[in-house]
């Protein structure tokens, strides 16, 4: 007899469920499962209370009891009605049934998506936050204090002393006069401090970007057959800075900084190493004094060959190059390694002396470039003073204009931008990658957050403003940033002090710059860029972490050395994107099996004994040899074993033969020994006959849906049999690509019969017999009934993938000659669930999943939380609020993979 009791929605209803029928406990609960007699008794009490409510209040009066509608229908009404009318829908009630509250789950809509993800981005508050984010200095400048100022001042001056000689050296790499390196340095340091989210990064000329700028200048000048006075190297470099600044700032303002992540670390390290080798060998000719005889703009291996060929042309410049280079490396080793060790040895008992001596070594290390430049400039001045260019025994830097002579709006000749455009991709990539990699690295080391999009804005705006000073492209420098971090810089405002040092040099020291030996500048460059070369430790770590990354790194280096830096960059990009695509296109989907897992809290780990849990009687089985071994070797293990037994297992009479350890079903891949997800000695049990569980390990998209389709269908044909055996079908009805086992044609059988008769007539006296006809083997494989797809690792799907799932359902239903249940577990995105529902999955429908296929084994999940009495959920007798975890109108969607062994499959 069907009966409906109206449901009054209030917070006590969920408590009624728990009070009337004890639900399965959490693994950490002490509440044991009730037996059949207890359930029958509680059912009788429930019916008695129901009768009393009817007699006291009448059948139509709303009560606080649980509402039950004895029907087997799923409410598909609108959202408002489902909220007002919560009902329990059960076909047949018996003592073993647990009442499930009805919960109508509705698919997500664009309105929901807008409210959840987009609405806050279109408010006035978000516009204000976006505007403030462009100028991070507004947030921290009001908090600026004297301690920050002193740290920034020291760090800024220290880095400025390094930046002045480096910027002039890097301008030499870019084939530009030295003053342009100084222009880029001071304006980069000033501008970056206003937009930066990194306190450590130092903006200015860098080796790799200078090399790329020099290559762009060479290629663009080659496109002008006749010399054009309006097209000069500084003009090309400034236009390149303008174009790179526009692109970079645009990417930052549009918040597209995630595109930088498409290039992996190993790829960046590869072309940085190759570029460093290119720069170092490109400076060897100038170091030895025959720089005008070698073309350093060609491939690195050609530069190496030409440099070795011209070794007999070495001049006196080698003295001003090799000796400073040797001193720089010796200085670095002593101040960075030997000196601190000696300080620890000499001042082991004097912390103050140890501290000051290490500080001395640190600042001596930072000042080594400036000291070397000053000393050898003084020597060069003494031997070149008053001599003409032809009379000078060495090559010197030459005159540097005093002050800011090139301030103004940049010149943009017609057609120049179009000629630079083909070189822009490589230039922008170098500009972005080097800076972002450095900023994020120091952010992780020094524990602060770097915003990549804002860093792109900072680089772009810095290069755009630099065009008013005829600067060439500038980005973050690793060596100067490391020095800045070691100086314990506190804020980006230190860039103001660094830029001031450069300006001071431009106005006060240009007369001294005239006598700087070019060979000494080359020595400074070689020493600086050698830090960019990846050590053998880095290469070995790439190999240990991922051999493909090591291969990418080595190939990138070889391409950069034997081809060009641009080709090395493009290969690194293509390799990173190819690996990403291949991982998506060839996903490692896994077929899953079942194992029972239990969590033991505060367990005793010991390899001297083995515990076996027999769930039927909860005994702790210990072999006699094990006990004797512990008596002889480890006496303390005897009480330990007793304690372990008391903690892990209870007395059989106390909890009716149930173990205190609660095992739950976990689904893991069958190849767990390879994937290392589980102890290889543990045996994974297969799903019940007719059930296949498959986990998708990546997003389910058009790139990999065909792969998943083939893998799943092949496994189905391997593990299950056809619903209609193919040998019982007409040959004309069989598919051409699956015709079954080959059988001899009829005329061949007829020929065998005639041959047998002829042989019988000819050999009447000989014993003959008819050959045995092979009998078809019986197929004992089960029919496919359930296919469960684990979507817990699927972040997104698309229309192509969903259509392939529809095609798979049709093919499987045809193969099994019945409706096969498609169950989905662990769906993480509401849009995935919406797409599945729209194409007929998850719900009961007549075409693909009618009610008959789930009769007897519907599976729901319940969730409970502590009630209003705030008692701990582990305490027996505590009150709980119980909810249905997933929609009862979507019986094929699950929070976790069901335990199919409990089903009547």
548-578: per-residue pLDDT in tens? Answer: 888 988 999 999 889 888 888 888 888 888 8
DSSP string computed for 208-251: HHHHHHHHHHHHHHHT-SS--TT--HHHHHHHHHHHHHHHHHHH
pLDDT at 111: 80
Instruction: Say if residue 671 is in the same domain as residue 534.
Output: no
Domain assignment present for 250? yes
Confirm if 189 and 466 have CB atoms less than 8 A apart.
no
Confirm if 270 and 563 have CB atoms less than 8 A apart.
no
First to last CA, the chain: 28
Confirm if 669 and 695 have CB atoms less than 8 A apart.
yes
Q: Name the phi and psi angles at 553, rounded to 5.
A: -60, -50
Higher pLDDT, 655 or 803: 803
Q: What is the DSSP letter of 845?
A: B
Q: What is the pLDDT of residues 859-900, one digit of tens each?
A: 788 888 876 554 444 444 457 788 888 888 888 999 889 888
Which residues on neighbouring strands pair with residue 865, listed in sequence order? 881
Instruction: Say if residue 380 is in the same domain as residue 336.
Output: yes
Structure-token pair, residue 749: 């059988």
Burial class (CB in 10 A: 0-12, 13-18, 19+), 662: middle
pLDDT at 500: 92
CA atoms 883, 885, 887, 891: torsion sign: negative
Q: What is the DSSP letter of 677?
A: S
Structure-token pair, residue 593: 């099996």
The three-state DSSP-derived secondary structure of 415-473 is: CHHHHHHHHHHHHHHHHHHHHHHHHHHHHHHCCCCCCHHHHHHHHHHHHHHHHHHCCCC
Q: Which domain holds residue 339?
A: 145-584
| Arithmetic mean of pLDDT, 449-462 | 91
DSSP string computed for 576-614: HHHHHHHHHHS---EEEEEEEEE--TTPPP-TT---EEE
815/818 Cα distance (integer angstroms): 8
pLDDT at 744: 59
Quick check: 457 pLDDT over 90? Answer: yes
pLDDT at 743: 63
Helix (H, G, I), strand (E, B) or coil at 838: helix
Neighbours of 668 (CB within 10 A): 18
Confirm if 810 and 818 have CB atoms less than 8 A apart.
no
Structure-token pair, residue 821: 């249940």
| Arithmetic mean of pLDDT, 458-482 | 90
DSSP string computed for 345-363: HHTTT-HHHHHHHHHHHHH
Element (H, E) at 691: strand 691-695
**Would you say the pTM of this structure is higher than 0.85?**
no
Given its phi and psi angles, is residue 631 left (phi above 0), alpha (psi -120 to 50 degrees) or beta? alpha
Confidence of residue 245 (pLDDT cuts 50, 70, 90): very high
Residue (of 552, 528, 533, 557) closest to 542 by Cα position: 552
Instruction: Say if residue 352 is in the same domain as residue 380.
Output: yes
Confidence of residue 77 (pLDDT cuts 50, 70, 90): very low
| Arithmetic mean of pLDDT, 319-346 | 89
Residues 6+ apart with CB under 8 A from 877: 871
Given its phi and psi angles, is residue 724 left (phi above 0), alpha (psi -120 to 50 degrees) or beta? beta
Report the mean per-residue pLDDT for the chain: 77
Highest mean pLDDT among 94-98, 108-112, 492-496, 643-647: 492-496
pLDDT at 730: 60
Confirm if 813 and 819 have CB atoms less than 8 A apart.
yes
424/417 Cα distance (integer angstroms): 10
905/895 Cα distance (integer angstroms): 20
855/277 Cα distance (integer angstroms): 72
Confidence of residue 26 (pLDDT cuts 50, 70, 90): very low
Quick check: 501 pLDDT over 70? Answer: yes
Domain assignment present for 507? yes
Instruction: Say if residue 267 is in the same domain as residue 335.
Output: yes
pLDDT at 692: 94
pLDDT at 882: 83
Q: Which of 584, 613, 628 is the last residue of a domain?
A: 584
| Arithmetic mean of pLDDT, 348-352 | 82
pLDDT at 50: 46
pLDDT at 626: 39
| Arithmetic mean of pLDDT, 675-694 | 88
716/718 Cα distance (integer angstroms): 5
| Arithmetic mean of pLDDT, 792-798 | 89
Helix (H, G, I), strand (E, B) or coil at 683: coil
Domain assignment present for 30? no
Confirm if 564 and 277 have CB atoms less than 8 A apart.
no
Q: What is the pLDDT of residues 258-315, one digit of tens each?
A: 877 777 778 888 878 888 888 889 889 989 988 888 888 788 899 899 999 999 989 9
Instruction: Count the residues in the chain.
Output: 905
Distances (CA, A) of 195 to 43, 188, 192, 649, 686: 71, 11, 5, 63, 59
pLDDT at 101: 73
Quick check: 59 pLDDT over 90? Answer: no
pLDDT at 29: 37
Q: What is the pLDDT of residues 829-861, one digit of tens each?
A: 888 998 999 898 988 888 888 887 777 677 788
Highest mean pLDDT among 68-72, 318-322, 847-851: 318-322
pLDDT at 890: 87
Confidence of residue 185 (pLDDT cuts 50, 70, 90): very high
The three-state DSSP-derived secondary structure of 36-75 is: HHHHHHHHHHHHHHHHHHHHHHCCCCCCCCCCCECCCCCC
Query: Cα 359–198–556 angle (5° rounding)?
Result: 95
Structure-token pair, residue 180: 């342009």
pLDDT at 731: 61
Helix (H, G, I), strand (E, B) or coil at 525: helix
Quick check: 237 pLDDT over 90? Answer: yes
Domain assignment present for 460? yes
Q: Which of 553, 584, 615 is the last residue of a domain?
A: 584
pLDDT at 45: 53
Instruction: Say if residue 521 is in the same domain as residue 591.
Output: no
Residues 6+ apart with CB under 8 A from 264: 549, 552, 572, 576, 579
Structure-token pair, residue 620: 């702790």
Which residues on neighbouring strands pair with residue 592, listed in sequence order? 669
Structure-token pair, residue 307: 């440099």
Quick check: 9 pLDDT over 70? Answer: no
Q: Any idea which residue has 């330990």 for tokens?
A: 640
Instruction: Say if residue 303 is in the same domain as residue 239.
Output: yes
Q: Name the phi and psi angles at 755, rounded to 5.
A: -65, -40
Domain assignment present for 635? no
pLDDT at 620: 39
Instruction: Say if residue 365 is in the same domain as residue 408.
Output: yes
Number of domains in the chain: 2
Helix (H, G, I), strand (E, B) or coil at 565: helix
271/560 Cα distance (integer angstroms): 6
30/58 Cα distance (integer angstroms): 40
Of 151-165, 475-489, 593-607, the least confident:
593-607
Higher pLDDT, 40 or 59: 40
Quick check: 648 pLDDT over 50? Answer: no
Helix (H, G, I), strand (E, B) or coil at 529: helix
pLDDT at 458: 92
222/242 Cα distance (integer angstroms): 21
Q: Which of 536, 562, 584 is the last residue of a domain?
A: 584
pLDDT at 347: 81
Cα torsion through 563, 567, 573, 578, rounded to 10: -70
Of 113-117, 472-476, 643-647, 679-683, the least confident:
643-647
| Arithmetic mean of pLDDT, 812-821 | 89
CA atoms 476, 480, 486, 491: torsion sign: negative
Quick check: 619 pLDDT over 60? Answer: no
pLDDT at 645: 44
Q: What is the CATH number of the domain that holds 689?
A: 3.30.750.24
Q: What percent of the chain has pLDDT over 70?
A: 76
Quick check: 462 pLDDT over 90? Answer: yes
Q: What percent of the chain has pLDDT over 90?
A: 21
Domain assignment present for 528? yes
Domain assignment present for 651? no
Neighbours of 261 (CB within 10 A): 10
Highest mean pLDDT among 242-246, 525-529, 860-864: 242-246
Higher pLDDT, 401 or 788: 788
Confirm if 136 and 196 have CB atoms less than 8 A apart.
yes
Instruction: Say if residue 510 is in the same domain as residue 592.
Output: no
Instruction: Say if residue 591 is in the same domain as residue 520.
Output: no
Residue (of 533, 472, 518, 520) closest to 278 by Cα position: 533
DSSP string computed for 242-291: HHHHHHHHHHHHTT-GGGGGGS-HHHHHHHHHHHHHHHHHHHHHHHHT-G
Strands 786-790 and 691-695: parallel
Higher pLDDT, 19 or 774: 774
Residue (of 882, 891, 901, 824) closest to 851 by Cα position: 891
The three-state DSSP-derived secondary structure of 708-773 is: HHHHHHHHHHHHCECCCCHHHCCHHHCCCCCCCCCCCCHHHHHHHHHHHHHHHHHCCCCCCCCCCC
> Rounded to an integer, what is the distance from CA 145 to the centroid of its chain?
39
Confirm if 7 and 17 have CB atoms less than 8 A apart.
no
Instruction: Say if residue 591 is in the same domain as residue 572.
Output: no
Domain assignment present for 838? yes
Confidence of residue 123 (pLDDT cuts 50, 70, 90): confident
Of 66-80, 107-121, 837-851, the least confident:
66-80
Confirm if 741 and 728 have CB atoms less than 8 A apart.
no
905/902 Cα distance (integer angstroms): 9
Residue (of 779, 800, 794, 798) closest to 824 by Cα position: 794
Confidence of residue 62 (pLDDT cuts 50, 70, 90): very low
Confirm if 493 and 152 have CB atoms less than 8 A apart.
yes
Helix (H, G, I), strand (E, B) or coil at 139: helix
Confidence of residue 325 (pLDDT cuts 50, 70, 90): very high
pLDDT at 535: 83
Instruction: Say if residue 353 is in the same domain as residue 456.
Output: yes
Confirm if 252 and 560 have CB atoms less than 8 A apart.
no
| Arithmetic mean of pLDDT, 99-116 | 76
Structure-token pair, residue 427: 């230039």
Instruction: Say if residue 681 is in the same domain as residue 580.
Output: no
């Amino acid at each position: 007899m069907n009966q409906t009791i109206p449901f009054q929605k209030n917070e006590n209803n969920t408590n009624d469920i728990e009070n009337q029928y004890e639900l399965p406990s959490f693994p950490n609960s002490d509440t044991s499962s009730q037996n059949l007699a207890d359930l029958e008794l509680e059912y009788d009490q429930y019916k008695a209370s129901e009768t009393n409510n009817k007699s006291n209040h009448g059948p139509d009066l709303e009560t606080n009891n649980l509402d039950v509608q004895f029907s087997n229908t799923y409410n598909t009404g609108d959202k408002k009605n489902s909220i007002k009318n919560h009902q329990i829908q059960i076909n047949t009630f018996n003592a073993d049934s647990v009442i499930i509250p009805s919960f109508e789950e509705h698919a997500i809509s664009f309105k929901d998506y807008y409210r959840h993800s987009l609405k806050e981005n279109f408010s006035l508050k978000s516009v204000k936050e976006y505007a403030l984010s462009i100028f991070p200095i507004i947030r921290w400048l009001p908090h600026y204090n004297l301690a920050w100022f002193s740290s920034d001042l020291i760090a800024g001056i220290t880095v400025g002393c390094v930046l002045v000689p480096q910027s002039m050296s890097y301008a030499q790499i870019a084939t530009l006069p030295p003053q342009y390196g100084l222009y880029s340095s001071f304006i980069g340091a000033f501008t970056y401090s206003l937009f930066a989210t990194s306190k450590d990064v130092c903006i200015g000329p860098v080796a790799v970007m200078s090399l790329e700028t020099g290559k762009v200048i060479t290629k663009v000048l080659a496109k002008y057959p006749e010399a054009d006075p309006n097209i000069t190297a500084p003009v090309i470099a400034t236009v390149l800075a303008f174009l790179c600044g526009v692109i970079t700032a645009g990417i930052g303002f549009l918040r597209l900084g995630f595109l930088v992540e498409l290039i992996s670390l190993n790829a960046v390290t590869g072309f940085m190493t190759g570029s460093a080798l290119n720069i170092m060998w490109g400076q060897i000719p100038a170091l030895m004094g025959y720089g005008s005889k070698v073309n350093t703009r060609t491939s690195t291996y050609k530069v190496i060959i030409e440099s070795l060929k011209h070794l007999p042309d070495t001049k006196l410049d080698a003295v001003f190059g090799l000796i400073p280079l040797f001193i720089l490396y010796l200085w670095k080793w002593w101040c960075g390694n030997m000196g601190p060790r000696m300080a620890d040895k000499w001042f082991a008992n004097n912390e103050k002396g140890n501290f000051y001596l290490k500080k001395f070594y640190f600042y001596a290390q930072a000042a080594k470039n400036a000291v070397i430049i000053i000393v050898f400039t003084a020597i060069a001045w003494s031997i070149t003073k008053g001599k003409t260019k032809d009379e000078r025994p060495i090559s010197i830097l030459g005159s540097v204009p005093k002050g800011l002579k090139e301030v103004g709006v940049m010149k943009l000749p017609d057609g120049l931008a179009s000629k630079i455009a083909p070189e822009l991709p490589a230039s922008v990539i170098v500009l972005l990658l080097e800076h972002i990699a450095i900023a994020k690295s120091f952010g992780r080391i020094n524990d602060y957050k770097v915003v990549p999009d804002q860093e792109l804005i900072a680089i772009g705006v810095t290069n755009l403003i630099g065009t008013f000073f005829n600067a060439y492209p500038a980005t973050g420098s690793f060596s100067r940033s490391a020095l800045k971090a070691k100086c314990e810089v506190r804020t980006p405002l230190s860039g103001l002090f660094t830029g001031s040092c450069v300006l001071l040099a431009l106005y006060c020291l240009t007369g001294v710059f005239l006598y700087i030996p070019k060979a000494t500048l080359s020595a400074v460059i070689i020493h600086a860029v050698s830090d960019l070369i990846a050590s053998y430790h880095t290469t070995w770590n790439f190999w240990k972490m991922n051999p493909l990354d090591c291969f990418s790194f080595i190939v990138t280096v070889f391409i950069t050395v034997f081809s060009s830096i641009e080709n090395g960059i493009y290969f690194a990009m293509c390799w990173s994107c190819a690996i990403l695509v291949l991982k998506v296109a060839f996903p490692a989907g896994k077929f899953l099996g079942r194992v029972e897992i239990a969590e033991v809290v505060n367990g005793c780990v010991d390899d001297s004994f083995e515990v076996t849990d027999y769930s039927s009687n909860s005994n702790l089985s210990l072999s006699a040899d094990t006990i004797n071994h512990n008596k002889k070797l480890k006496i303390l293990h005897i009480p330990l074993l007793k304690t372990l037994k008391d903690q892990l297992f209870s007395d059989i009479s106390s909890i009716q033969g149930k173990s205190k350890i609660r095992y739950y079903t976990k689904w893991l891949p069958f190849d767990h020994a390879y994937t290392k997800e589980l102890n290889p000695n543990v045996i994974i049990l297969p799903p019940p006959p007719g059930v296949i569980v498959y986990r998708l390990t990546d997003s389910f998209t058009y790139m990999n849906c065909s792969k998943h389709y083939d893998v799943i269908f092949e496994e189905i044909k391997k593990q299950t049999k056809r619903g209609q055996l193919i040998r019982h079908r007409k040959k004309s009805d069989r598919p051409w690509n699956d015709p079954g086992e080959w059988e001899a044609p009829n005329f061949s059988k007829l020929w065998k019969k005639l041959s047998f008769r002829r042989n019988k007539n000819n050999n009447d006296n000989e014993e003959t017999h008819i050959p045995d006809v092979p009998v078809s083997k019986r197929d004992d494989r089960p029919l496919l009934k359930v296919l469960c797809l684990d979507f817990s690792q699927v972040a997104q799907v698309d229309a192509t993938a969903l259509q392939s799932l529809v095609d798979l359902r049709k093919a499987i239903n045809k193969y099994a000659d019945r409706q096969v249940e498609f169950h989905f577990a662990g769906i993480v995105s509401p849009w995935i669930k919406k797409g599945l529902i729209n194409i007929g999955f998850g719900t009961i429908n007549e075409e693909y999943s009618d009610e008959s296929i789930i009769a007897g084994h519907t599976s729901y999940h319940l969730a409970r939380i502590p009630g209003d009495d705030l008692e701990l959920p582990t305490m027996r007798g505590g009150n709980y609020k119980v909810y249905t975890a997933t929609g009862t109108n979507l019986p094929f969607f699950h929070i976790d993979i069901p335990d199919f062994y409990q089903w009547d499959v």
